[in-house]
Amino acid sequence: MKFNFSKWHGLGNDFVIVNGLEEKINNYNEMAIQVCDRYFGIGADGLVVILPSAIADFQMRIFNSDGSEAEMCGNVTRCIARYVFEYGLTNKKKITLETKAGLIKPELIFIDDVLSTIRVDMGEPRLKRGELPMVGNEDEQVVDEVLEIDGTEHRITGVSMGNPHCILFVDDITGINLSDIGAKIETHAAFPKKTNVEFVQVLNKQELRMRVWERGAGVTMACGTGACATLVAAVLNGKTDRQATVELDGGQLLIEWGSDNHIYMSGPAVEVFRGTYL
């Protein structure tokens, strides 16, 4: 199969983007595994396809490097917003994207005709156990709850941004074995659809340091929905204000929990290269 693609990243969280309005891929799940392979493919955390939508400007489908489909991804949302604008698919600076997590609204912010940042209305966080989803009373919130892994108790907070997140606050993020504990929490029986896992060190009321184990992708440089979920969890636990900078391995995102109950994420999106997959 042959198709044109563009490689992008948001703070090191990288994606192969395909314009599905023009290119055809027969099996997205299998192709994601092939193109995301960092030795035998293009190399990426995910394959993302732009498609037509009856309810938004575009539809965005996201496939992790293991072939599974994700409901939503914050970092690639910024990349898609810049892609469709710079590739001439739209002249709008504020667009709507149809995702499996609902409608998402990114906006390109220009200062003196120079792109400054991309701000995304990520919608409202979902806090009930049934919305995560997580086993137990579906109407309860999961805030500072005990989760046992290998005989050790971890305090977790659950937040959904259309995809599930399990947030753990730690004193020293450098001491965390991300691949070990992250993988075990992702597949824990408490999460019927698995979960993304964020480890967070609170620096102060306006700054958080976060590392992530992403469901279906493993350790990544950044996770936009994870940064949003992290701020929500920090507020619920009384650790930060409703606006904070989240520092990830790949850089920083500004996250706001607005008075309208929507989460707003601001950060960059960068095209790395473009080519033809053979």
Whether residue 4 is annotated as binding a ligand: the answer is: no
Find out whether 13 is annotated in a ligand binding site. Answer: yes
Q: Is 207 annotated as a binding residue?
A: no
Exposure class string for 228-247: b at 16+ Cβ within 10 A, else e: bbbbbbbbbbebbeeebbbb
3-state secondary structure of 206: coil
Of 73, 79, 166, 228, the catalytic one is 73
**Residue 73 appears among annotated catalytic residues:** yes
Catalytic residue chosen out of the listed positions 36, 79, 166, 223: 223
Residue 91 assigned as binding residue: no
CB of 196 closer than 8 Å to CB of 213 = yes
Query: Beta-strand (E) ranges in the chain?
Result: 3-10, 13-19, 46-51, 58-64, 69-70, 97-99, 102-111, 114-121, 145-149, 152-160, 164-169, 196-204, 207-214, 218-220, 243-248, 251-257, 263-267, 270-277
For residues 28 and 181, give the distance between their C-alpha atoms in angstroms, rounded to a whole number: 29
Annotation-wise, does 256 bind a ligand? no
261 is in an annotated binding site: no
Q: Is 228 a catalytic residue?
A: no
Summarize the annotated binding site for substrate as residue ranges: 13, 64, 74-75, 163, 196, 214-215, 224-225
Summarize the annotated binding site as residue ranges: 13, 64, 74-75, 163, 196, 214-215, 224-225
List residues with catalytic annotation. 73, 223
